[in-house]
Amino acid sequence: MPSCVNCNRKLSWTEIFKQTLLVNRYSLRCPNCKQQLFFTAKSKKKLFLVAATVPILLVLLTSFQIPTTISVITLIVYSLLVVLIVPFLVEVTNKEEALF
């Protein structure tokens, strides 16, 4: 789990999870020192790659003609796993970085 770059307080899974779901990218603040935190460019790329695997999995399941029930269950389980691990992939910094 990432830590605040200013006060070294570990951010909770819930705080990071909420930020990954929010559209407002400026809402992540350290609860301890109120420092504004941003995801690093490396973290943004990791999150994109993890999220991009869901539609790829869907294409693979349909191209191999896996039964619909198994495909749906697989996608639901995989999506839940992605949602649960995403906060562990995040790194934060005190300044916003360009993606490329």
In a domain, 51, yes or no: yes
Say if 3 falls within a structural domain. no
Query: Is 5 inside any structural domain?
Result: no
Domain presence at residue 31: yes
pLDDT in tens, 50-90: 989 999 999 999 999 999 999 999 999 999 998 899 889 98
pLDDT at 22 over 80: no
Q: How many domains does the chain have?
A: 1
Sole residue written with tokens 């349909």: 62
With respect to residue 60, please indicate whether it lies within any of the assigned structural domains.
yes
Residue 8 counted as domain residue: no
Residue 64 belongs to a domain: yes
Task: For residue 100, tell me if it sits in a domain.
Answer: no
Q: Domain range for residue 63? A: 13-93
